[in-house]
């Protein structure tokens, strides 16, 4: 392989690393989104769901339910047998007066063999050199997903996010991290000094389903708390 390379329940916790969060990390999230390499289209196989993460320099689905997925140390799939094989596909160039065939690399889309089967599929080149972004193919159902987000170009700075959700409809689900835009026209300079909070949106087929944002108050500082996604649109 090329080395360049989401609570039906009200449950959501952050296992954020201790210490201050650098303002530069939040400023860079949108920049990372802008420069992210183009990814393949997530076309779910009938009767299955895709779960992907994006929005920071790098992100990894480290666990789903009780099954470890991507190692936080090696940043590669823990169980190589779950990794989807890539295959060469010949396609017509569709150019006038041309009979040439173009070869592309696509993932094997053989349907999952069982209700508990999991496939890890390479999605795109990461914005952190040497890493790969992966997505999951699983069967619909209630799942707990744990994700590591990397807001900076630094594998030592991790924001950990976990969510339990009813992934009941076949299709593509995405967990996207971003910094919330704050109204900086009110309040003092000191009040506006803290970094904008990190938020995570859960979407289904590109439609917003749920939203979680980090809290700055002392009682719930550092936690991702769910908000009314429709009211915040």
Instruction: Single out the residue of 8, 62, 10 nearest to residue 224, CA to CA.
Output: 10
- The domain total for the chain is 1
As beta bridge partners, residue 143 has: 165
| Angstrom distance (rounded) from CA 13 to CA 85 | 34
Residue 9 falls within a domain, yes or no? Answer: no
Q: SS in 3 state form for 85-140?
A: CEEEEEEECCCCCCCCEEEEEEECCCCCCCCCCCEEEEEEECCCCCCEEEEEEECC
Residue 159 falls within a domain, yes or no? Answer: yes
Containing structural domain, residue 214? 23-77+123-227
Residue 220 falls within a domain, yes or no? Answer: yes
Residue 232 falls within a domain, yes or no? Answer: no
Residue 101 falls within a domain, yes or no? Answer: no
Q: What pLDDT sits at residue 185?
A: 52
Q: What pLDDT sits at residue 28?
A: 45
Residue 209 falls within a domain, yes or no? Answer: yes
pTM of the model: 0.73
- At residue 27, the 3 state secondary structure works out as helix
Q: Compute CA distances 112 → 6, 43, 77, 155, whole Å.
A: 20, 14, 18, 32
Q: What pLDDT sits at residue 117?
A: 97
Retrieve residue 188's tokens.
């003092």
Q: Compute CA distances 69 → 75, 76, 93, 225, whole Å.
A: 10, 8, 36, 25
As beta bridge partners, residue 89 has: 104
Residue 85 falls within a domain, yes or no? Answer: no
Residue 37 falls within a domain, yes or no? Answer: yes
**Averages of pLDDT over each 10 residues, the chain, 233 residues:** 37 34 40 42 87 96 98 96 81 58 75 95 94 96 97 94 96 94 55 71 96 77 79 54
């Amino acid at each position: 392989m090329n080395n360049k390379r989401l609570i039906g329940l009200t449950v959501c916790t952050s296992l954020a690393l201790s210490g201050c969060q650098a303002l530069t990390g939040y400023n860079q999230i949108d920049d990372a989104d802008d420069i992210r390499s183009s990814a393949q289209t997530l076309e779910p196989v009938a009767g299955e769901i895709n779960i992907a993460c994006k929005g920071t320099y790098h992100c990894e689905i480290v666990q789903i339910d009780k099954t470890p997925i991507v190692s936080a140390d090696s940043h590669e799939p823990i169980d190589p047998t779950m990794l989807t094989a890539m295959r060469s596909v010949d396609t017509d160039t569709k150019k006038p007066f041309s009979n040439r065939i173009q070869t592309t690399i696509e993932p094997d889309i053989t349907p999952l063999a069982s209700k508990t089967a999991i496939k890890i599929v390479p999605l795109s080149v990461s914005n952190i050199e040497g890493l790969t972004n992966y997505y999951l193919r699983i069967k619909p159902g209630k799942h707990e997903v744990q994700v590591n987000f990397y807001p900076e170009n630094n594998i030592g700075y991790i924001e950990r996010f976990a969510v339990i959700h009813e992934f009941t409809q076949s299709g593509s689900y995405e967990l996207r991290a971003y910094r919330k835009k704050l109204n900086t026209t009110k309040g003092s300079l000191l009040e506006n000094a803290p970094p904008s909070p990190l938020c995570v949106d859960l979407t289904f087929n590109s439609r917003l389903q749920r939203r979680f944002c980090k809290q700055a108050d002392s009682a719930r500082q550092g936690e991702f708390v769910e908000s009314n996604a429709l009211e915040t649109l």
